[in-house]
Structure 1
Amino acid sequence: MNAPLLPDATHAPAAQRLAAVAARAVEPRKPITVSQWADLHFVLSSKSSAEPGRWRTDRNPPLREPMDCMSARSSVKDVTAMFPIQFGKSEIARTTLGYVMDHAPAPVMVCLPGEVSMLKWVNQKLNPMIEDVPVVSRALVSTASRDASNTRTFKDFAGGQLYMEHAGSPQRLKQTSVRHLIVDELDEFAGSLTTGDDPVDMLEGRTSAFPGNYKRLFISTPGLLGVSRTHAKYLKSDRRRYHVPCPHCGHRQPLEWSGLHWDRTPEGVVTHAWYVCQDCGAMIDEHHKTAMIAAGQWVPENPEAKTRGYHINCLYYQLGLGPRWADLAEMWIAAQSDPARLKTFVNDRLAEPWEDPAMRAVKHNLIADRAEAYPLRTAPEGVLAITAGVDTQDNRLAVHVVGWGRGMSAWTIDYIELPGDPAEEAVWTALTDLLNRPIQHVRGGLLRVEAVAIDAGGHRTEAVKAFVRRRVVHRPMAIFGAVPNNAPVLSRPKAQDVTWSGRTDKRGVMIWHVGTVAIKHMLFSRLSTDADKDQQARLVHFSDELPHEFYTGLVSETYNPAKNRFEKRRGARNEPLDTWGYAYAAAHHPELRLHRRTKADWDAAEARVIDSAEVATGADGVNRSTVAHTESSDSDHDDDIFAPIPMR
């Protein structure tokens, strides 16, 4: 029997290496956190960082807790980080991704709002991490560009797969199951996809195959108040803010923009900025900031919530990693005269949602409190003409009847939603009856709806055109919202029908384009100024019989100065707002032009109201306006707007 082979000196190193490899293969992974992993392995690239080199979480302590929430041993599943720019949002995402690929392998998806932003993230964030972090590079199955396991938007790594996706296409958000979801620039996601689906809901569904151990990270600066997805998620979270101790009294507090003060030269240059303690009122110079942040901690405002939410602002920039307090003060001062720049500062530096200052006085509850005691379907004192706006939905028609008076003062006379598919005739019959029904004036006569604008957008365009062609109501208009932001209230109409010979039918249906941006600016400015006026001086009036939902819909949109567009608040229905705008556009019909009426025109209209009331009420005091009327065509009596209208 041969003696066993014993490793000699020449074989010992190889044997030791083999044993070490085998030991590592069976050794359990040490339970480290994301921040610990980052301190050991992560490297900042010169391509994407002002301070390239080895990562140190202590350089920016507020990032540690959000990072560690994404650790394998953490019980937290959903994290929302509402951070300012240049604060390390992308580093939270990248360290989490590197940690998953190297230490806790599993399927992971990184999603950006669009293809352009996705490719930028790949080139500026992902590729430098693969090049500069050896453990991430070694985790990849292949780094060959021609290998199917290593493409620009897909990486195969040991124990998992990386999917780079964007939310511009519903197909990219389907048929993928992942345990880790990282969403960057959440507020830039579209409100809905071409299929009508919500992209964020579709993304969250990608983790449903891992109900017990999924992780989801949403990071972004916020956008518009009421529209911002990030802010909405933050409000539902435990709402953590970073509290730091005052160097003078020790009182812990979050740093808020209102606490920053500064001195300026006569030329407007900020020479010194300091923070005032909320408790002792002491002046805190910026050189204390590093120690204050190092001693700070995240404090929840809503500790009962299941999800984590983190909010911090630009006052926490570490020295050398962002603008100084004096620089931020100068940015704030320079932005005061420019709404777009002010919005950018509020969103990007304060990490707060933007609210148009004109909208701060336009709250649905404040408007509801100004409601007046007049019944619906009755024209109050001051109403001298009536128009209507109709919004078309797949299962209903929303109708807003508005009365107009001197100076284009407006009264909502009726708001109703008629159920029924506009592709069928029944709902149009109900609309015809509603619009042709005379409206009682408070003085005794009857008014009719002089023009109606009907939204032809959406899925029922041809049904709207067919209704307008029949002309069974007075001055029907098929309208679309104008694309240009500076479009006039009512553009010149364009004929849509053609004759049998292919020529334009000038007597066919016409399409009018409505400048919705201009109309909403006008309405909100009037609602804002009405807040300080008494009832007689107000320009926009509402009945106390209108439901609560009407007022929430009326202010359901907020202005985005960066896009020069109004954007709908999430979850709100904006039909009351849209239909008011359509009724306003109908008042600009070239046969009416209520906005161009002179004092003499309004005086004549008021005289006709008085005359019609006297005719309608005889000596016996009986109102005869609903009993007798003279048969006449619309073309012969366009000016006789107070005559009773026969039902058609």
Structure 2
Amino acid sequence: MEDVNYQIPRGLDRSLFLKLGACDWIAERRHLLITGAAGLGKSWLACALGHKACREKISVLYTRMPRLFADLAIAHGDARYSRLLRSIARAKLLILDDWGPEALTPEQARDLLEIVEDRYDKGSLIITSQVPVDRWHDMIGIPTLPYLAEIMDCLSIASPVERVVFMKGAQTGGTEAGLNAIGYWIAHAPGIILTVWPSLDMVRRNSRTRIEPLIEGTPALRSKIAPARAKDPGNTLSQKEFTGGSLVMTGANSATGLRSLPARYLVMDEVDAFPADADGEGDPVALAVQRTVTFRGRRKILMISTPTDSGVSRIEKAFIESDQRRYFVPCPHCQAFQTLKWAGVKWPEGEPRKAFYACEVCGGVIEEADKPAMLAAGEWRATAPENKDAAGFHLSALYSPFEAWGEIAVEFLAARRDPLRLKPWTNTKLGEPFEDRDAEALDAASFISRLEGWGETLPEGVLTITAGVDVQNDRLALEIVGWGVGEESWSLQYDEIWGDPSKPDLWATLDAELLRAFEHPRAGRMHVRAACIDSGGHHTQTVYRYAQERAGRSVWAIKGRGGRGIPVWPRRPPRVREKAFTPYIIGVDAAKEIIVARLRGIDPGPGYCHFPLARDLDYFRQLGAERQIRTYRKGVALMEWRKDPAVRNEALDCRVYAFAALQSLVAKGLRLGDEAKRFADMPKREPGETTAPGAVPAKPRVIKSAWMSR
């Protein structure tokens, strides 16, 4: 930065460049484009900013675009593609140097889209190019999305349609449809526009990354809306005023924002992520729609979302109540119109990346290259024309120009045996709600035939060990779990430690169990790397003290919280307070959904749960003591976990806490795949070569602390 020559005539603004050197724009996750003729030092300037970011302890990755595309092409062929994208995404600042002037291939365009999407609200980007920005569209070769035309027509003030529902897969242009509508209304039919995102945090992010670029990049809007200023209440992150109206942005979790004013136009994005209740005032969708009643007959309501669970998905319900339009495209061979269905995607044995589509009429092979022409000739057809209250559109990612059938097939094969992964695949790729056909309670007796014996040493697949502890009034329940690649698990130990949790003897016994060594055939002695102890119900302060004293061993006091959207392990540690200890809040509903889905797995491998011969039927009854049922809160369908009142559930709770402990390690950088490679490089030990005190027990034990003998 200090060596930049501002005397060279290249249009470099000294004050602006010095401001960029402060790196605030990186903290705000903004992006920088540097364009100009060859030889003006674009790469040097980009690297100078990258060097300054490194000095500010910001991670930076530099790559030339031609080299990047070459690496990505190789990664597509040797199964490293996802890992390479994750590696690129980890950098806080990514510098893509020397782009153009050659046009991108369709695969390169998709790769670039993935990289840029990964930057969204997570990191910053510098791109240097000799090509002016107004020619980038031609270089990228971004295909048009002809299926959006009818959706946009319905949002025109010339259309009699008041409600538009878009149930969609990923990368189909749903958010862009909403942005286009907002821009059209501001420019051609101004009025009050209410835009609702799932949370206020998303409002702030989308205002910066979606709305402001829309305004800045569109002259017709830029002339109507002044830039946001700190002292201008009319133009802020959450509100943009213009002649004839204003754009108000709020979160579905804010009842105040949802009842603040009447609105002619309403856009609700990702409605399936909305909370069930907005500050105790009811369904946020109903509250938002109520704001448009004044304009009945000339209002526009747009609902956009990827669906979630069947029966509780808001977008599914709205689509069912609409005229249910689907996009029909012609076969390039027989010209028969049809909708694209997953059943039509085929591929040669063992080669999913070569997937094609088989015409349902003539059986002709339709290649990925045929998709643009098919989309251009496609048409929407209402399949429930009797429902005239709303125009509903459904579109899967099979139609997306940005999603290759081969990539979708690869993801399907990776997800098909794991309900946890199959659900988001169904939601995001097919644009369909997920229906769990195995939602009934687990059959405890069915696990008896699955019991295994692995002797006194750990199974070779175990790569790390965690523990979960449930606290009762007269005992502690403890499960120690080994984890392998793909979170395959082995229940190494399940015990009930009887005693008084208010007495130190019981906790000393627990300490001894958590410090036990387990013998691994390659790694030798292994210990519990992290443990979670429930502090929510019994002896809270005792648990706090115990965990505080053992934080260096990753023993965490946790408190479970139910509800949609709460991650298994928090994204940030709890705030440190001077006089009060704060436990980690874990998402128990998310953890139970994952665990119960995996308990139904029947094929060893990623996600599968192994149990030793010593497990009894009562343990498995406890694992299956809860199941999801559909309930209604203020008219909104929800899925809740309900416990069988006749069955204890400590085993399930312990597994939830052990799984949360694993996620705490993942948050700190543990990668089970990397651990597997490390273990594979270790020589296998001969039987009896080492003996760890307290090796895995052959039979379950009931442990009594000294308290029991008093």
Q: Which residue pairs with 2:287 in the alignment?
A: 202
1:98 aligns with 2:183: yes
For residue 527 of structure 1, report the CA deviation from its aligned partner: 12
Tell me, in whole angstroms, the C-alpha distance in 1 between the residues paired with 2:345 and 2:405: 8
Which residue in the other structure is 1:609 paired with? none
Aligned mates of 2:260, 2:413 — CA distance in 1: 49
Residue of structure 2 in register with 1:275 after alignment: 357
**Contact 1:226/1:569 (<8 A) preserved:** no
Residues 1:286 and 2:368 are matched in the alignment:
yes
Shift in Å, 1:569: 12
- Distance in 2, Cα, partners of 1:342 & 1:144: 45
1:77 aligns with 2:150: no
Letter in 2 for 1:343: K
Deviation at 1:66, TM superposition (A): 0.6
Shift of 1:554: 8.5
Counterpart selection for 1:60 from 124, 145, 157: 145
Do structure 1's residue 323 and structure 2's residue 396 form an aligned pair? no
Report the TM-score, using the length of structure 2 for normalisation.
Answer: 0.46
List aligned pairs for 1:443-592, cutoff 5 A.
493=538, 556-557=629-630, 571=636, 578=642, 581-585=644-648
One-letter code aligned to 1:183: M
Taking the aligned partners of 1:112 and 1:202, their CA distance within structure 2 comes to 13
2:234 is the alignment partner of 1:171: no
Q: Distance in 1 between matches of 2:649 and 2:365?
A: 59
Q: Which one is further off, 140-149 or 93-102?
A: 140-149
Give the share of equivalent positions with the same residue, in percent: 32
Q: Is the 8 A contact 1:167 1:173 kept in 2?
A: yes
Q: 1:526 to 1:127 in 2, by over 3 A?
A: closer
Partners in 2 of 1:283 and 1:269 — Cα distance?
Answer: 16
Cα 1:159–1:199 change in 2 (3 A) is same
Query: What is the aligned counterpart of 2:390 among 307, 318, 321?
Result: 307
Distance 1:139 1:65 in 2: 27
Would you say the 8 A contact 2:396–2:429 is kept in 1? yes
8 A contact 2:225–2:240 mirrored in 1:
yes
CA deviation after TM superposition for structure 1 residue 300, in Å: 1.0
Show the counterpart of 2:431: 351
In the aligned structure 2, how far is the partner of 1:522 from the partner of 1:271? 31
Tell me, yes or no, if the aligned pair for 1:519 and 1:581 is still in contact at 8 Å: no
Give the SS at the match of 1:249. Answer: coil
Q: Which residue of the other structure, out of 257, 262, 266, is the alignment partner of 1:181? A: 266
Deviation per CA, 1:144-193: give whole Å up to 9, x if none. 55322211111110111110111122111112111000111111100112
2-side partners of 1:304 and 1:293: how far apart?
26
CA separation of 1:263 and 1:526: change in aligned 2, threshold 3 A: closer
- 1:110: how far off? 1.1
The match for 1:533 is: none
Secondary structure (helix, strand or coil) at the match of 1:219 reads: strand
Structure 1 contact 57–63 (Cα < 8 Å) conserved: no
Code of the residue aligned with 1:309 in structure 2: it is G
| Partner residue in 2 for 1:295 | 377
Q: What does 1:622-633 correspond to in 2, within 5 Å? A: none
Question: CA 1:150/1:245 → structure 2, altered by over 3 Å: closer, same or farther?
Answer: same
- Contact 2:255–2:281 under 8 Å retained in 1: no
Letter of the 1:242 partner, please give it. Answer: Y
Larger Rg: 1
**Does structure 1 conserve the Cα–Cα contact (< 8 Å) formed by 2:353 and 2:410?**
no
> Distance between the aligned counterparts of 2:201 and 2:136, measured in 1?
25
- Which amino acid is the alignment partner of residue 270 of structure 2? E
Return structure 1 stretches of 4+ with deviation > 6 angstroms.
46-51, 54-58, 405-408, 486-492, 512-529, 567-570
Distance 2:346 2:426 in 1: 17
Q: Distance in 1 between matches of 2:386 and 2:209?
A: 38
SS in 1 for 2:235: coil
Mapped partners of 1:219, 1:171: distance in 2:
22
Alignment CA distance shift 1:524-1:156 (3 Å): closer
Alpha-carbon offset, residue 574 of structure 1? 7.9
Unmatched tracts of structure 1, length 5 or more: 1-43, 368-404, 409-485, 497-511, 530-538, 540-552, 559-566, 589-648
* 1:346, distance to aligned residue in structure 2 (A): 1.3
In structure 2, what is the Cα distance between the partners aligned to 1:286 and 1:523? 37
Q: When the two structures are superposed, what TM-score results if normalisation uses the length of structure 1?
A: 0.51
- Matches of 1:516 and 1:67, distance apart in 2: 38
Inter-CA distance 58–262: structure 2 relative to 1 (3 Å threshold): closer
Tell me the amino acid that sits aligned with residue 648 of structure 2: A
After superposition, the Cα gap between the structure-2 partners of 1:489 and 1:104, relative to the gap in structure 1 and judged at 3 Å, is same
- Are residues 1:339 and 2:422 paired? no
Q: Partner amino acid for 2:170?
A: I
Structure 1 distance, partners of 2:171, 2:378, is 20
Q: Gaps (5+ residues) in structure 2?
A: 1-112, 121-132, 448-530, 542-559, 563-587, 603-616, 618-625, 652-710
For the 8 Å contact 2:326–2:393, the answer to whether it is kept is yes
What residue identity is the alignment partner of 2:345?
L
Aligned-partner residue type, residue 391 of structure 2 = R
Determine the C-alpha separation between the residues in 2 that align with 1:199 and 1:88.
24
Say which SS state the counterpart of residue 556 (structure 1) adopts: strand
Aligned partner of 2:337 in structure 1 is 252
Letter in 1 for 2:405: W
Classify the secondary structure of the residue corresponding to 2:282. coil
Q: Tell me how far 1:270 sits from its aligned partner.
A: 2.7
Distance, in Å, in 1 between the alignment partners of 2:271 and 2:136 is 27
The one-letter code matched in structure 2 to 1:582 is P
SS in 1 for 2:291: helix
Root-mean-square deviation (CA, aligned residues, Å) is 4.5
Q: How does 1:593-632 map to 2 (within 5 A)?
A: none
Q: Secondary structure at the match of 1:217?
A: strand
1:356 shift after superposition: 2.7
- Aligned 8 A contact 1:142 1:156 in 2: no
**Matches for 1:368-387 after TM superposition, within 5 Å:** none
CA distance in 2, matches of 1:569, 1:172: 19
Residue 197 of structure 2 is aligned to residue 112 of structure 1 = yes
Distance across 1 between alignment mates of 2:446 and 2:419: 29
Deviation at 1:123, TM superposition (A): 1.2
**Counterpart of 1:156 in structure 2: which amino acid?**
E
CA–CA separation in structure 1 for the residues paired with 2:353 and 2:537: 55
Which letter maps to 1:172?
G
SS in 2 for 1:303: coil
Within 1, Cα distance between the matches of 2:188 and 2:645?
Answer: 59
From the superposition, tell whether residues 584 and 292 of structure 1 become closer, same or farther in structure 2 (CA, over 3 Å).
same
